[in-house]
Structure formats: structure tokens, C-alpha cells
Amino acid sequence: MATEVKQMDKAVIERAVQQIIEAIGEDPKREGLIGTPRRIADMYEEIFAGLKEDPRELLEVGFDDEDHHELVIVKDIPFYSMCEHHFLPFHGVAHVGYIPQGRILGVSKVARLVEMLARRPQVQERLTSQVADFLCQGGLGAAGSAVVIEAEHLCTTMRGVKKPGSKVVTSATRGIFREDARTRAEFFSIIEGKRS
């Protein structure tokens, strides 16, 4: 799923940002804006670092599951991403569950997978599906995966419809979570804090 990405060209980003500053009618030589093109280029290198990373390599590091074939959930994983439509941030939490089938992941690897995929130009729907897909088909080979992402999008809170506090919730299920309603219900009850 990771595509071959050219090295980020920070000089091109700096020139483009300087042009944007000029295009909005500002002076790029004004004291407060002099370093802005460089700062934005540095920021883009950081927030789009996931473009240069392959999630399959992350998922290669696992442990024998010691016959654990029950639900594993990591809740409330904070993330920040950049909407590819307006290049404005969206941020929130991800809840990720999977059922091992031969291997388990270290807990930090689940959070790292979310972060790696979020650090790309994204849409929330794709991000949700990518996390679920990588756990089942893309590396871990889990018997099933379920992902719920709740996020606030700055493109709807600071521009356009201007509705601060509104959240988008997306979900994706794969394998046994899609096939077995009881397993799916258990996942949703745990992430909602209603464990029976």
C-alpha cells in the first residue's frame, strides 16, 4: 500500500509558500514572515513522514500469540492527520481491535500503525480502512480487525460550514468482525465502555 515516494523537496515547498504569501497580498520579507517558508517546509517533512514508511515493515515485528485467539483492543489512540482536500488538519482518536491468528503485536505497534498511516495526505474513511486492512491482509494476518475513528476536521470548523465540535465517526471491520455479529458487538461495547 505504501507507494514509492520521491524525497521531499523542501526548497520547492519554501518557494511555493513564499508565492502563497505574496498571492494573499502579504510581504514575505516582513519580519514575522521571513522564516515562514522554511518553517512550513520543516513541518511538512514531519507531518507527512508516513509517506516514506512502509506499514508492512512495522507489522513484521510481532510475538508468538501463546494460543491467544481472543480480542485485543487498543483504545483512545490520539492522532493528527492532514485532509488532502484542503490541507487542513483533522485530529481525534482511533480505537483498534484485532483477533490474533498466530502472532500478536506489541501495543505500541498498534498505535504506531495509526500514526504512520495518519502522517500522509488522508481522508478519514481511507485511514480507517487502511488500519483495518493492514492488520488482516497487510502484514499481521489477524483473524479479524475492527477500527473506529472519531475526529474533528478543521475544514468544517474554521471554514465552510463552521461547526466547531462536530465529529466524524468512521468504522471498518474485516474478517471475523464482519462475519460474526457477537464479536463485532463485543468490540463496540468495549470501546463504548459498556462491557457486560
Any idea which residues carry the catalytic annotation? 83-86, 124, 153, 155
**Rg from Cα positions in the chain:** 20
Alpha helices in 48-106 (DSSP H): 55-59
| Residues 91/154/34/38 CA torsion (nearest 10 deg) | 40
With contact defined as beta carbons under 8 Å apart, do 104 and 139 qualify?
no
Torsions phi, psi for 143 (to 5 deg): -70, -20
Which DSSP string do the residues of 159-195 spell out, in sequence order?
A: STT--TT--EEEEEEEEHHHH-HHHHHHHHHHHTT--
